[in-house]
């Protein structure tokens, strides 16, 4: 399952969650971003795919969701 790191105040995060839900893509919504901060990632949203790869660029995340 993919993991979407978000915050409640992030408009782009809400948009990506709506797209995932509209497409019926199951995901885990993670709000604990400590692991991301440890890796030096300081922007949201972040999408972690099943293979462990991380997307932090909104264009890449949006393109991935659209391709599903």
Question: How many domains is the chain partitioned into structurally?
Answer: 1
Q: Are 37 and 7 in contact (CB under 8 A)?
A: no
Task: List, for residues 32-44, the tens digit of each pLDDT value.
Answer: 888 788 878 889 9
Question: What residue numbers bound the domain in which 38 lies?
Answer: 2-67
Task: List, for residues 16-68, the tens digit of each pLDDT value.
Answer: 999 999 999 999 999 888 878 887 888 999 999 999 999 999 999 999 999 99
Predicted TM-score (pTM) of this structure: 0.89
Strands 46-48 and 2-5: antiparallel
Q: Are 7 and 36 in contact (CB under 8 A)?
A: no
Cα separations in angstroms, 17 against 9, 51, 60: 13, 20, 15
pLDDT of residue 6: 92
Look-up of token digits 């997307």: 55
């Amino acid at each position: 399952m993919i993991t979407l790191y978000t915050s409640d105040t992030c408009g782009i995060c809400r948009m990506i969650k709506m797209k995932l839900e509209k497409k019926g893509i199951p995901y885990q919504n993670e709000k604990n971003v400590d692991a991301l901060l440890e890796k030096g990632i300081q922007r949201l949203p972040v999408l972690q795919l099943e293979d462990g790869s991380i997307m932090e660029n909104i264009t890449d995340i949006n393109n991935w969701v659209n391709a599903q």
